[in-house]
Chains A and B, each alone.
Chain A
Amino acid sequence: MASDYRSMWESLGLDLEAHDQLLQALPPTYGDVYLKQNDRPAGMEYFDFVINEIHGLRIQELQEHKARGGKVVGAFCVFVPEEIVRAAGGICIGLCSGIEIGAAQAEKVLPRNICPLIKSFMGFKLSRVCPYFESCDVVVGETTCDGKKKAFEILSDYVPVYVMETPQMKRAKDMSLWRSEVWDFMARVEEITGNRITKDSLGGAVKEVNAKRRALIRLAELRKNNPAPISGKDCLLIEQIAMYDDVERFTAKVNELCDELETRVKEGKGANGAGAPRVIVSGTPMAIPNWKVPHIIESSGAAIVAEELCTGLRYFENTVPEDGEDVEQMLNDIAQRYLDINCACFTPNGGRTEKLVQLAAEYEADGVIHCSLAFCDPYMVEANRVEKALKEHGIPLLKIETDYGQEDSGQLKTRVEAFLEMIR
């Protein structure tokens, strides 16, 4: 990191020694996974910079925002409506949890066999190594799975937690529950920030967040070209950064990158070599710095053309209508947009399998790799529905279950390579 941020980290209450170890663990991975790619678009420089400053500049910006009286709201899920936080002058930050950290501390309060993402966020908090976590005035949880739902009770011993109840079905009565949750969330955000949300502030926030989504949709659309002008790993990185970077700057940088990619498409330039098999990755979120499986896939010669993930399409597909006439209508529109997310927490979740079949056709994918974190019942069980639907449409599928450890990478590489041999 360019500047010295130690005093800032210290004032946030980080465990500096443990934090140094964390930072030392990051750079070599990033170099191997990202910087060694051939012929990367020049526009990736900004995103490399953001990662390089992951615990530096952006944290400084958050501190400056807080010094001006602004609030920071942390979230773990794409169901938390960022528009509402922004409309009240707050900053919404997606907390990452993509690395095994503080496992010993986390296991003091959690069972040993639990989703690595849950263990990671608890570990980050208990070992005091995440400056984002330490910058949060409140953390917003949800009820998308049992593990998270119960872990938020424990987390509230260490940080203020507000939980939104996400429904399990998509009927009219579920919609009315979710709508009331969105209303309650607005009231709580107003209380925390001390700012009232108005038609103008909410309308403005809807437009800003939509602009971010549209930039990401534009990036996704460009990947429909064959060859895809950018690697899947780079896109995953951008989608991960989307959750915590400054919204307007990020939007501008993604659009700049897309301008460059349009030129690459015209020149027929691809990131993964001509004739690379095209793969869609689907499943549980891949939080920073979890690039394990995408790295295995692309270093085995395939191109990932889309991520049907929370760190992917589920985060940015569908926008909120911008013609809401008053706060009530806008909130209803926001609630609808979020309830349309096809998360495996819903039953049934036919929208997801239909979407996957449609994506495979639109992106001319040769196969789908379903990737689930260990102990994630919703996605691991739903993999059966995915398999059934894809089989009916003749789309090859590889199912992977893994965690943040590296000990299975050799075995995963064999499976991925064999899958690519099969679909080539």
Chain B
Amino acid sequence: METVRAGIDIGSRTIALVVLDGLETVRSMLEDTGFNPGQRAKEMVASLPPEASVTATGYGRHAAKAGFAQRVVTEIKAHALGAGRLFPGARTVLDIGGQDTKVIVLDDSGDVADFQMNDKCAAGTGKFLEVMAGALGYGSVGEFGRDSMAGSPGTKITSMCTVFAESEAVSLLHRGVDRRDIGRALHAAVVERAFGLLQRAGYEVPLVFTGGVALNPCVVALLRERIKGAVLVPEMPQMVGALGAALAG
């Protein structure tokens, strides 16, 4: 019998686990990272059979290797493998996670040909949208994304810094601008930043959009407007890294 392969993606906001039987996903789990990521990850893999081969990725990968994982791969490689498995023939992966944005360019055989990552600040990532949702009084990022779909174009947020963009959004509110328009502008700012990174990497389509922010309908819609060609969004975009890690095992 083939060994069970598992991949765990320990990110800044969530921890994802994917278990494979051959090439088929037999189980997937997603939990909040919480305040003790090492402990949380350990609990998640506790249910695996002892002979399971675990590959870790994400910011917590090295800690996981010291604890329970057999090997590590970077998020870059994991997303490349995962996206390639879900969408064979994909040429570019855009991953927007909790605190960083990555663009991965794939070659003919699906290997990483080049990649770009945002600079050290978390501008234009999931964290950015979370802070803005709070500033505009939304209970969740999901609600923020859905409501911003109804916003009209025309309003512009010029700053990409989370702190400055927040004060920009607040001053627009005071000027009486509809919060859905501000929301749309904030989502557009995220897309602009990702698009800059995509251009720097020399992206090609089909493009696979992964990471938690790919669940946001407004970002997806605006990205589709910006990119000429196919933008493919997996059913569970936050699981792609864990799937790729499992495949690397």
Show the binding face of A for B, using Cβ within 8 Å.
401-402, 407-408, 410-411, 414-415, 417-418, 421-422
From the candidates A411, A417, A418, A421, name the one contacting B120 in the complex (CB within 8 A): A411
Question: Taking the complex as formed, is B128 at the interface, i.e. its CB lies under 8 A from any CB of chain A?
Answer: no
B112–A418 contact, CB under 8 A? Answer: yes
Check A414/B120 contact, CB under 8 A, given A421-B112, A422-B112: no
The reply on B117 being an interface residue by CB < 8 A is yes
Judge whether B73 is part of the interface by a CB distance below 8 angstroms: yes
Chain A residues whose CB sits within 8 angstroms of the CB of B76 once the complex forms = 414, 418, 421-422
B74 touches A414 (CB 8 A): yes
Residue contact A418 to B74, C-beta cutoff 8 Å: yes
CA distance in complex: A414, B241 (Å): 14
A408-B120, A411-B100, A411-B117 given; A418·B59 CB < 8 A: no
Cross-interface CB contact of A415 among B73, B77, B111, B117, cutoff 8 Å: B117
Across the interface, name the chain B residue whose C-beta is closest to A423. Answer: B112
29 A-B pairs within 8 Å (CB atoms) are namely: A401-B119, A402-B120, A407-B120, A408-B120, A410-B59, A411-B100, A414-B74, A414-B75, A414-B76, A415-B115, A415-B117, A417-B74, A418-B74, A418-B75, A418-B76, A418-B77, A418-B112, A418-B115, A421-B73, A421-B74, A421-B76, A421-B77, A421-B112, A422-B76, A422-B111, A422-B112, A422-B113, A422-B114, A422-B115
Chain A residues near B77: list those with CB within 8 A. 418, 421
**Residues of B contacting A401 in the complex (Cβ-Cβ under 8 angstroms):** 119
Main DSSP-derived SS at the A contact region: helix
Rounded to whole angstroms, the CA-CA distance of A416 and B74 in the bound complex is 9
Instruction: Report A28 CB to chain B, min CB distance, Å.
Output: 19
How many Å lie between the Cα of A226 and that of B73 in the bound state? 26
Most buried by A among B59, B73, B74, B114: B74
When C-beta atoms are compared, the residue in chain B nearest to A398 turns out to be B115
For A413, give the chain B residue with the smallest CB separation.
B62
Q: Which residues of A contact B59 (CB under 8 A)?
A: 410, 414
Q: Other than the known A411-B100, A418-B115, what 4 A-B pairs have Cβ atoms closer than 8 Å? A: A401-B119, A402-B120, A408-B120, A421-B76
Q: Please, which residues of chain A bring their CB within 8 A of the CB of B112?
A: 418, 421-422
Measured between beta carbons, the chain A residues less than 8 angstroms from B74 are 414, 417-418, 421
What's the tally of chain B residues with a CB closer than 8 Å to chain A?
15
Chain B nearest Cβ from A417, distance in angstroms: 5
How does the 8 Å CB contact mask read for B209-248 relative to A, with 1 for contact and 0 for none? 0000000000000000000000000000000000000000
Docked CA distance A331–B115 (Å): 48
A422 to B112, CA, bound (A): 6
Within 8 A of A (CB), among B102-154: 111-115, 117, 119-120
- Residues B19-66 near A (CB distance < 8 A): 59
Instruction: Name the B residues within 8 Å of A402 (CB-CB).
Output: 120
Nearest A-chain residue to B200, judged by Cβ = A399
Contact A414–B73 (Cβ < 8 Å): no
**Closest CB-CB distance, A290 to chain B, in whole Å?**
17
- Residues of B contacting A415 in the complex (Cβ-Cβ under 8 angstroms): 115, 117
CB-defined contacts of A418 to chain B, threshold 8 Å: 74-77, 112, 115
Task: Kindly provide the distance from the CB of A371 to the nearest chain B CB, expressed in whole angstroms.
Answer: 14
CA distance A414 to B73 in the complex (A): 9
In Å, the complex CA distance between A237 and B181 comes to 55
Ranked nearest first, the 7 interchain pairs of A and B with the lowest CB-CB distance are A418-B76, A408-B120, A418-B74, A417-B74, A422-B112, A421-B77, A414-B74
Q: Quick one: which of B56-110 are within 8 Å of A by CB? A: 59, 73-77, 100
CB closest chain-B residue, reference A417: B74
Which residue of chain B has the shortest Cβ distance to A396 in the bound complex?
B114
Residues facing A in B153-175 (CB within 8 A) are none
Q: In the assembled complex, how far is the CB of residue B150 from the closest CB belonging to chain A, in whole angstroms?
A: 35
Cα–Cα distance between A410 and B37 once the two chains are bound (Å): 16
Q: How far is the CB of B128 from chain A (nearest CB, A)?
A: 16
Question: Could you tell me if B119 and A414 are in contact, using CB atoms closer than 8 angstroms?
Answer: no
Q: How far is the CA of A196 from the CA of B74 in the complex (A)?
A: 61
Q: Nearest residue in A to B60 (C-beta to C-beta)?
A: A410
Residue from the set A401, A407, A410, A422 with the largest chain B CB neighbour count within 10 Å: A422
Shortest C-beta distance, B211 to chain A (Å), equals 14
- Using CB atoms, name the residue of chain A closest to B57: A414
* Inter-chain contacts of B75 with A (CB < 8 A): 414, 418
Q: How far is the CA of A261 from the CA of B40 in the complex (A)?
A: 47
Residues on the B chain within 8 Å of A410, using CB: 59
Give the shortest distance, in Å, between B176 (CB) and chain A (any CB). 35
Q: What's the Cα separation between A417 and B111 when bound, in Å? A: 15
- Within the assembled complex, what's the spacing in Å between the Cα atoms of A408 and B100? 12
In the complex formed, the residue of A with least CB distance to B118 is: A411
Q: Which residue of B lies closest to A403 (CB)?
A: B120
Bound form: Cα–Cα A410–B115 in Å: 17
Chain A positions within 8 Å of B111 at CB level: 422
CB A295 to nearest CB in B, in angstroms, measures 14
Complex CA distance for A411 and B120, rounded to whole angstroms: 7
Q: In the complex, which of the residues A407, A414, A421, A422 contacts B117, with contact meaning CB atoms closer than 8 Å?
A: A414
For A414, the closest partner residue in chain B by CB is: B74
Residues of B within 8 A of A408 (CB): 119-120
Q: Which of B73, B100, B113, B115 has the most CB of A within 10 A?
A: B115
Closest to A416 in B: B74
Residues of chain B within 8 A of A411, CB atoms compared: 100, 117, 120
CB-CB under 8 A from A422, the residues of chain B are 76, 111-115
Query: Looking across the interface, which residue of chain B has its beta carbon closest to that of A407?
Result: B120
* Residues in chain A near residue B100, CB distance under 8 A: 411
Q: How far is the CA of A418 from the CA of B241 in the complex (A)?
A: 14
Q: How far is the CB of B125 from chain A (nearest CB, A)?
A: 12
